[in-house]
Amino acid sequence: MQIPFGRRRESGDTDVEKASTNASEAGQGHGQQQLDPKVMDPNAGESNLTQEQEEMLHRKLKGRHMQMIAIGGSIGTGLFVGSGSALQSGGPASLVIDFIIIGIMLFFTVHALGELAVMYPVAGAFYTYSCRFIDPAWGYAMGLNYALNWLVVLPLELTAAGITLQYWPGARDIHISVWITVFLVTVVIINLFGVRGYGEVEYVLGMLKIIAVIGFIITAIIINCGGVPTDPRGYIGGRYWHNPGAFRHGFKGFCSVFVTAGFAFAGTELVGLAAAEADNPRKSLPKATKQVFWRISLFYIVGLTMIGLVVPSNDDRLLNASGGNTAASPFVIALELAKINALPSIFNVVITLAVISVANSSTYGSTRTLHALAERRMLPSWFGYVDKRGRPMFSLIIALLFGCLGYINEAAAGDEVFNWLMALSGLSQFFTWGSINLAHIRFRHAWKAQGRSMDEIPFHAAGGIVGSYLGLGLNILVLIAQFYIAVWPLGEPMSAKYFFQNYLAAFFVALFYLGYKIYKKDWSFYIPLQDIDLDSGRRDMNISEELAKDREEKAQWPRWKKIWHLFC
């Protein structure tokens, strides 16, 4: 027996227990059976799609796709260009320290997400987890917040791609709207191939970005040691940490770097969102989750440390490091200062491809979240329609129509409109990451309260529940730091306009949350631990024996192999 489509869970209802029992019965002897998505989340309502309308998302993402999405999937303008404005605002020390703080937070966050996604590889991932383990209203707010974030990022990235091409004199003669059209059509074509197209494009572009960053790090080491004959500076060493200095603009400069760091890391959580379309999440997700360590330590921390060593933080070009202006990219500036011919143009090509990659990822993130919201009757049902090729078509159309906002550049007030669009996405990631940590904390407490064994969990987060508490705390501290900067801005007078342009996302989250509460007339703040459904949505059921064998095998490994397996 399944929960009737039209029925919602009321306080004290026993539907959760029934759904859990039914889920367990459905899983007996069928470890890979996909449970009905309509009973995945009894707290948030059920899907009202008809059987003829509903098609399942295709599970075509392989292990190599998942790993590349985790390692290089969202490396884009945040790292390649935005890091320049962060270097100018906070100096090289603030740049590295802030990125390390955000990196530590993301390490625990992604591991928490990995544990949940391996256990419940369902559509919507972290939005769904917020609905199930925290509160439906908070989940609704997080779902709309995340979808809106990626919807507005798409036109921003398309515009950034057009600006990127203007690095070359010949491209400057072509109006930017032409380039926006070219890149928008490219994104449309990629998405016509469904999830497999997304996975293959991210695999190829991710590989190119990784090679480029590693190549840059090696080149920067040579530049710093004075090994480039054309560089008039000779040996640099730690010169720029002394003059103009390790820190700029004091504590405000330090705090101002956090949003840039968050934007640069945006998309790290996509590996969890892709779990529903992975062919074997129990095998591929743990490996992909562990790759985040290398992404944080190598590509961000090491790469930006080298940037701070070879580019002075008072370079005037860094003042323009926004909106995809790759002439202001610290990576390009480093190569230009060393007077290395051709390499600046080559790296600009990499940045262009990285922007396309992020635009592709933003389309994927928004469409899958809109689809999941519709599955739980939090949006009109047509958002949840999936065609026979596994594409959420109506959600995809909405996302691509948002891409047309890139043409606002034609308007006289285009820059002003874009500033407000960016305000919608500025803090969005921190709410998402904090909710992932909170959902994992609630999951672990519910697991213990309902007498479950930890041996039933296929993948354990590296930091456990302590890591999630730390990740949640760091997210809260960053939001506080950004509130401080929004009220008392760096180099700007206090103003309501500046405050809302830097903290607007928080008000939208509050609006979505309260709106849901008012509409549903449900003023409870959380789901009781005993009422949390821990069974619906599990793709692998009754695999305790298989997990026990895996643990016995790993216990026999030599120490070096255990250490290697911890990070790879």
The alpha-helical segments, DSSP class H, found in 297-427 are 303-310, 330-337, 343-375, 393-403, 414-425
Q: Which residues are CB-contacts of 355 (< 8 A; sequence separation ≥ 6)?
A: 76, 77, 157, 160, 161, 164, 183, 324
Q: CA angle, 150 as apex, 212 and 115 as ends, to 5°? A: 80
Q: For residue 515, how many other CB atoms are within 10 A of its CB?
A: 14
pLDDT of residue 56: 58
Tokens of 410: 């034609």
Place of tokens 């997210």: 475
The alpha-helical segments, DSSP class H, found in 167-312 are 169-172, 176-192, 194-224, 239-240, 250-265, 270-273, 281-294, 303-310
pLDDT of residue 445: 95
Task: Look at residues 104, 107, 108, 86 and name the one whose alpha carbon lies nearest to residue 95.
Answer: 86
Q: What DSSP string describes 131-191?
A: HHHT-HHHHHHHHHHHHHHHHHHHHHHHHHHHHHHTTSHHHHTS-HHHHHHHHHHHHHHHH
Contact, 357 vs 345, CB < 8 A? no
Place of tokens 């308007």: 411
pLDDT of residue 122: 73
pLDDT of residue 317: 85
Q: List C-alpha distances in Å: 120 to 93, 289, 459.
A: 40, 15, 11
The alpha-helical segments, DSSP class H, found in 38-81 are 63-72, 77-80
pLDDT of residue 408: 82
Tokens of 102: 């955000």
**Bridge partners, 278 (sequence order):** 61
Contact, 372 vs 140, CB < 8 A? no
pLDDT of residue 12: 38
pLDDT of residue 439: 94
Task: Look at residues 234, 251, 220, 195 and name the one whose alpha carbon lies nearest to residue 334.
Answer: 220
pLDDT of residue 123: 66
Task: Look at residues 176, 178, 154, 152 and name the one whose alpha carbon lies nearest to residue 166.
Answer: 176
What is the amino acid identity at position 12? G
Domains in the chain (CATH in brackets) are 63-567 (1.20.1740.10)
pLDDT of residue 36: 40
Q: Which residues are CB-contacts of 331 (< 8 A; sequence separation ≥ 6)?
A: 80, 216, 307, 347, 351
Tally the C-alpha atoms within 13 A of residue 215's C-alpha that lie toward its C-beta: 14
pLDDT of residue 276: 58
Contact, 92 vs 309, CB < 8 A? yes
| 341 DSSP 8-state letter | S
pTM of the model: 0.82
Handedness of CA 387, 392, 398, 402 (dihedral sign): negative
First to last CA, the chain: 42
Q: For every one of its 568 residues, what pLDDT tens digit does the chain have, with 9 covering 90 and above?
A: 333 323 333 333 434 334 443 434 434 333 333 334 333 343 444 444 333 333 455 555 665 666 666 666 667 778 888 888 889 999 999 999 999 999 899 889 989 988 888 888 776 667 889 999 999 999 999 999 998 988 988 888 888 888 888 888 877 788 888 888 999 999 888 888 877 777 788 888 888 888 899 999 999 999 999 999 999 989 999 999 999 999 998 888 898 888 888 878 887 787 766 665 666 666 667 777 777 777 777 788 999 999 999 999 998 888 765 555 666 789 999 999 999 988 888 988 888 888 888 888 888 888 888 888 888 888 888 887 887 777 788 888 898 889 888 888 777 666 677 777 777 777 888 999 999 999 999 999 999 999 888 888 888 888 899 999 999 999 999 999 989 988 988 877 888 888 888 888 899 999 999 999 999 888 888 899 999 988 887 756 556 566 667 667 777 778 777 676 666 6
> Counting Cβ atoms within 10 Å, is residue 28 exposed (0-12), middle (13-18) or buried (19+)?
exposed
